[in-house]
Amino acid sequence: MPAVNSTIKAAADFGRLDEMAAVPLYEVVKRHISEAIMMGRWAPGTVLPGEVALAQRFGVAVGTVRRALADLTVEGLLARRRKTGTIVTGRSPHHSLRSFFQYFRLHGRDGTVLRSQARVIDVRIDIPTPAERSILGLREDGRVLRIHRLRRVDRVPVMHDRLVLDAERLPDFPLSPRKVPELIYLHLLERYGIRISAVREQVSASLADADDLKLLDVTPPAAVLVIDEVAYDQTGRPTVIGNHRARTERHCYVNEVR
């Protein structure tokens, strides 16, 4: 039986969209619906509300919602069924650049997708290192935004992330840890029109350092997985420098980008 009631409840969590968004509104609708699916609020088999109901909820035209649903159907997240409506398929790739805001690399050993919860430990404006200035193409007086987050799965710490971005491109970015959006790439798209479209990674292993021991609750000597990355926007400009350190005794690294 399709999960109609849970769908209506999930739809009620959406707020009306800002017509001054930096990208077309149908793209914003797509991202919010994708978020609901990828974050598990809309499970496979869930029936979405009708186009009119969604349009009213988002505060956009029906045509905008129709365009978003059509794109998500082509991409495989949704399917149209006669007499049933639009449903969540559950067949989408776990990691897709179309859903980069949910780009979490650790899966269970049995292949299950893990739902992580991120807590920001620190966010601040800082002086860049020479390497950061070179990668991001900053001026001599440029500054960077530093974000340090801890990710948990089932309340167990599994990864901590350090992200570095050009502060000049992100005016008014919240500097209170509690106000930093959990889905940073989605925020970059909606607030600043910055779409992450490519990523270059280097994967290695390292002995746990003092931060790893404290944040990931591991006992020395312990090894951690290290992922160093540079993410690029739609113009090919280096936008995010990332460093991710993870414990993997219960997890495996999966990178599936299509």
Residue 114, domain CATH = 3.40.1410.10
Query: pTM for the complete prediction?
Result: 0.68
Confidence band, pLDDT 50/70/90 cuts, at residue 16 = low
Of 64, 88, 112, the residue at which a domain comes to its end is 88
Residue-level pLDDT at 256: 58
Domain span at 29: 4-88
Token pair 């002995």 in the structure block, residue: 207
The tally of domains found in the chain comes to 2
Query: Collapsing DSSP states into helix, strand and coil, what is residue 33?
Result: helix
Confidence band, pLDDT 50/70/90 cuts, at residue 105 = low
83 and 102 part of one domain: no
24 and 150 part of one domain: no
- Angle, helices 25-38/51-58, rounded to nearest 10 degrees: 100
Q: Where are the beta strands (DSSP E) in the chain?
A: 78-81, 85-88, 106-108, 117-126, 144-153, 156-166, 196-207, 223-233, 238-246, 251-253
147 and 189 part of one domain: yes
60 and 123 part of one domain: no
- Cis (ω within 30 of 0) for the bond into 221? yes
Contacts of 88 (CB under 8 A, 6+ apart): 37, 42, 43, 44, 45, 46, 48, 77, 78
Residue-level pLDDT at 12: 43
Of 88, 110, 136, the residue at which a domain comes to its end is 88
134 and 76 part of one domain: no
Indicate whether 22 belongs to any domain: yes
Indicate whether 160 belongs to any domain: yes
Indicate whether 178 belongs to any domain: yes
Rg of the chain (C-alpha set): 19
